[in-house]
Amino acid sequence: MRGSALLAAALAVTALLAGCATDPLAEDYRDGGTENYISGSGILEVPGNERGDAVVFEGVTDEGDTFSSAEHLGEVLVVNFWYASCEPCRREAPDLEALSGEYDGEGASFVGVNVRDGAETSLAFSRTYGIGYPSVLDAGDGDAQLAFAGDISPSAVPTTFVLDREGRIAARILGQLEARSILDTIIGDVLDEGPA
């Protein structure tokens, strides 16, 4: 009887402690959330002397063109992982497009990586939100996702990377872009580093 009481007390303490843990996905589930995405948050900037190797990826865009990150060496490349039914992706789309326009011809380019949709859905999203930069379709082979699967990976959708002129990860914004000025500042800082 005493053993049962101790076991019951231990289970109660374990349940209480588990309830104190912060797990956003579990909290969303408990709150009845039905989102079809995993959202993260956080900004990571990597000093130049701590950046790893260049991230090299290529793929076919939703318009049927070939995209290669190697063709963008020498400029800053902003890479946004997204898909059409992702609500935070929809919310950040206007800011990404606006920044893409501001940096056009200024040394920075943008590319999307659609992790889930086919060309028709991806293009419909681009038309709806006025996106002018290309999106690589990555749902079939996951090559772009694999190229980023290192220490600093796109572990949530959306995720936005800023690659420096050498193609190395200079920054990652995990989750929805909360303020356009954040990404604007990061791009400007990486551009200010000078030529590769």
The residue range of the domain holding 5 is 1-32
Q: What pLDDT band is residue 15 in, cutting at 50, 70 and 90?
A: very low
Question: Are 162 and 186 contacting, i.e. CB atoms less than 8 angstroms apart?
Answer: yes
pLDDT exceeds cutoff 50 at 13: no
The whole model's pTM is what? Answer: 0.79
Q: What is the pLDDT of residue 130?
A: 97
Asked if residue 196 belongs to a domain, the reply is no
Query: What angle is formed at CA 71 by the lines to CA 69 and CA 72, rounded to 5 degrees?
Result: 70
More confident residue, 153 or 17: 153
Asked if 14 and 90 sit in the same domain, the reply is: no
User: What does the pLDDT average to over 49-70?
Assistant: 97
Confidence class for position 165, pLDDT limits 50, 70, 90? very high
Q: List C-alpha distances in Å: 84 to 32, 69, 163.
A: 22, 23, 23
Of 20, 75, 32, 39, the closest CA to residue 196 belongs to 75
Same domain flag for 27 and 49: no
Same domain for 120 and 184?
yes
For residues 11 and 51, membership in a common domain is answered with no
Q: Which residue in 157, 165, 173, 138 sits closest to 57, CA to CA?
A: 138
Mark whether 132 and 89 lie in a shared domain.
yes
Of the pLDDT bands very low, low, confident and very high (cuts 50, 70, 90), residue 35 is very low
Say what the pLDDT of residue 41 is. 56
Average pLDDT over residues 54-72: 97
Are 71 and 131 spatial neighbours (Cβ–Cβ below 8 Å)?
no
Q: How far apart are the first and last CA of the chain?
A: 73
Residue 40 binned pLDDT confidence (cut-offs 50, 70, 90): very low
Residue 77 has pLDDT above 90, yes or no: yes
Indicate if 57 and 20 belong to the same structural domain.
Answer: no
Residue 87 sits in the same domain as residue 183: yes
Q: What is the mean pLDDT of the chain?
A: 84
Neighbouring residues of 61: CB distance < 8 A, sequence distance ≥ 6: 67, 134, 135, 136, 137
Ramachandran region, residue 64 (left: φ > 0; alpha: ψ -120 to 50; beta: rest): left
Q: Do 5 and 96 lie in a common domain?
A: no
